[in-house]
Structure 1
Amino acid sequence: MDIKFEFWAEFDLFSENNKKRIINGFISDDSLPIPWSHITDLSTRQHILAQLLSIDDKCAGKTKCKDYVKGKNGFQKWYYAGDLQNPRGDFQMFLCKRLRWMGDILNLANSHETVSPSLPDLSIFPKGSWAIQVNFTLKKPYISKDDVDFYIIDNPVKKEWVFKVPYVAPSQWKGALRSTMIRELVSKLENGKIDEDEFVTERLQLYRLFGNEKDGTASFLNRVLALHRVGPVPEDGTENEEWQEKFREEILKIEKEFDREPREKEYLVGNIEGYQGSLHFYPTFFDRIGLEVINPHDRNTGAGKKPIYFECVPAGTPGVFTLLYVPPVNTDENTARADLKAVAKGVQAML
């Protein structure tokens, strides 16, 4: 008896003669030969179809199998059931059940048409802690990038590692909210709504909320404040070199000034360089997947070359945004209230 202990060796789509039959069987849940009939989990079927990327076999006329599986008889049928305006195919039913199953296992809360982490019990956290939870519905498709390298579509939406449902990771929410609040801060300075001292105070508040300034954030904010101090680039080219020197000196000065602030506020202690911040984000889970298509056109003929598919979470899908605020020790009530007000405005602007 031929016994195989490796998944890809057992389910070898590359060596399968009738690939179209396997694809149609996976999508339409038709009768499948052994061993393919053993694969009943739709996310596993989806994963297996990635093998088609290395295959040039044709499944319908001149259409290669790897393109056939993305078309009207493949993922479009799986996701949309023939109606591209209404994602209600078999795969959506699978995701809906999978999300509820995940919710039962992880003891998540039911929230309208989805599940989400429950609001934490604030009594076990330090004084001044608070939480925000917002139910929302997507107005446009949500596109993200998954971590997997082996997938039939070049641009898969990000999925939870174990249960394979689309989701927004906590780090994504943190980055999105931080970016939104930084843009709001810079806009207020540029439009004269706040002065330099208020800019520094609000920047320090962002540091307290989100932790260390990463990915060039510190450099960007230093340059914004330096530009505010020295003024715009002079139109007279002869003065440009002097302005550049003054601008660089101001950046270095601001960098030294702000480096002292977190230590004076005791956000950074001793030789410890890292600071996590007071905000803690929860994941958001979805139960639908859709497809977006970009079709580059030939400049000479005007005909589409080759569609580029993006997985997405379709517009109209509900979700729940949740975050927890746990302030540093000895934070006064006014500071906690000011942080709540700032974060609430930021969440509103982000969503």
Structure 2
Amino acid sequence: MIHDFYIDSVNFKEFNDWKQEKENGLNGKKKNEFQQKSEDKKYEEWLEEIFKIPLAQKKKEILNKLKEDKNIDDFCPKHEELQNLPQNSVLIKIFFTLKRPYTSKDEGEFHIIDGRIFENPIVRDKFTGLPMVRPSTWKGHLRFAADKVEWNDENEKKKIIRWLFGSEPGDVDALKGRLYFFPTFFKDEEGKDVITPLDRKTRTPVKDKAPISIEVMKPGKSGEFYLLYVPYPKGKDFKENEIEEDLKFLAKALDLMFYTYGFSAKKTSGFGVIERLEENEIEVCPRDRKDIFSILYTKQNKTVKDGA
């Protein structure tokens, strides 16, 4: 277990010794309250104080050091690398700012905020320790948005989705998609938010369910999104205009994902939506493909000089 990795740093104290020391250090009402607690409750407090919090603090120190030592640019594709890819490949890079919070569920065991164990930590990269959006997360949310795209020919739409994202699980003919996704790392500090469980029908708070604290990237935090399009496999009836159609469809799907549906858990609550992009916040290589994605950004008026 992950506990074993950090266990050497624990200042171990036997439960009975801790209990006696705790009781001796309390007075009056607090001492009486502690004595009235069940053994299970005391054991739970001992476990948190002696193991969980110290280990979580140790892990956070290690992760913070990793943040300083690692260059996340090593994980991202470069424009110059396109020359090694098949003809008509397109690389899209977007600098985005969150309009609504972003969250995701991590499997980590030791996360603390304000000195307390936090049960709903955000996903972090194991190598850098940074909050992140996994490539598979990007793919899943963009695939969801692609289904919502309005397209003239529904059969053509299904065909494009299959070419872009690949075959679905269980399909007889396996097909690798034309899109390649990359991780997004958040360099800013994470925060916390509280959500209230709502009844799906009445949309009112669920009785006897307390508000849930979750770790989030707050609005205003920024990240970089990378997406690579490689027009392979081509298929038997491939035509060059397929590339143009693929990219136009992709632009519409990106528009829906970023501005309407979001790319976060809790997206039905509006999580994971970004601020409107400016023209200089999106790069497309080769440049002559950028206009296809113009629905994503506000074009700059180059005929008006600064200060005019």
Normalising by structure 1, we get a TM-score of 0.50
Counterpart position of 2:252: 345
1:175 paired to 2:140: yes
Map residues 109-148 of structure 1 onto 2, 5 A cutoff: 117-119=77-79, 121-148=81-108
Gaps of 5+ in 1: 1-5, 20-52, 59-63, 70-74, 79-90, 109-115, 189-193, 216-258, 260-271, 298-302
Cα gap change, 1:120 to 1:280, in 2 (>3 Å): farther
Q: Counterpart of 2:131 in structure 1: which amino acid?
A: P
For the residue of structure 2 that corresponds to 1:127, the secondary structure is coil
Shift of 1:9: 3.8
> Is 1:292–2:193 an aligned residue pair?
yes
Deviations 1:18-38 (A, max 9, x none): 89xxxxxxxxxxxxxxxxxxx
Aligned to 1:315: 219
Per-residue deviation at 1:149? 4.8
Change (3 A) 1:214 1:139: farther
Partner of 1:153: 118
For structure 2, the residue ranges without an aligned partner over 5 or more in a row are 20-41, 112-116, 199-206, 259-308
* Partner amino acid, structure 1, of 2:132: Y
> How many correspondences in the alignment?
209
| Aligned equivalent of 2:45 | 56
Paired with 1:282 and 1:338, the residues of 2 have a C-alpha distance of 23
Deviations 1:199-258 (A, max 9, x none): 01110110000001249xxxxxxxxxxxxxxxxxxxxxxxxxxxxxxxxxxxxxxxxxxx
Contact 2:176 2:233 in 1 (8 A): no
Distance in 2 of aligned mates of 1:178 and 1:295: 28
1:336 is matched with which residue? 243
Say if 2:178 and 2:233, in contact at 8 Å, map to a contact too. Answer: no
Give the AA of the match of 1:55: E
Identity in percent: 33
Q: CA separation in 1, counterparts of 2:120 and 2:88?
A: 42
Report which of the two structures shows the higher radius of gyration computed on alpha carbons: 1
CA spacing shift, 1:118–1:128, aligned 2, 3 Å? closer
Instruction: State the TM-score, normalized to the length of structure 2.
Output: 0.56
- How far the C-alpha of 1:120 sits from its partner, in A, is 5.8
Alpha-carbon deviation of 1:118? 3.2
Residue in 1 aligned with 2:74? 107
Compared CA separation, residues 203 and 304, structure 1 to 2 (3 A):
closer
- Asked whether the 8 Å contact 1:14–1:55 carries over to 2, the reply is no
Partner in structure 2 of residue 208 of structure 1: 163
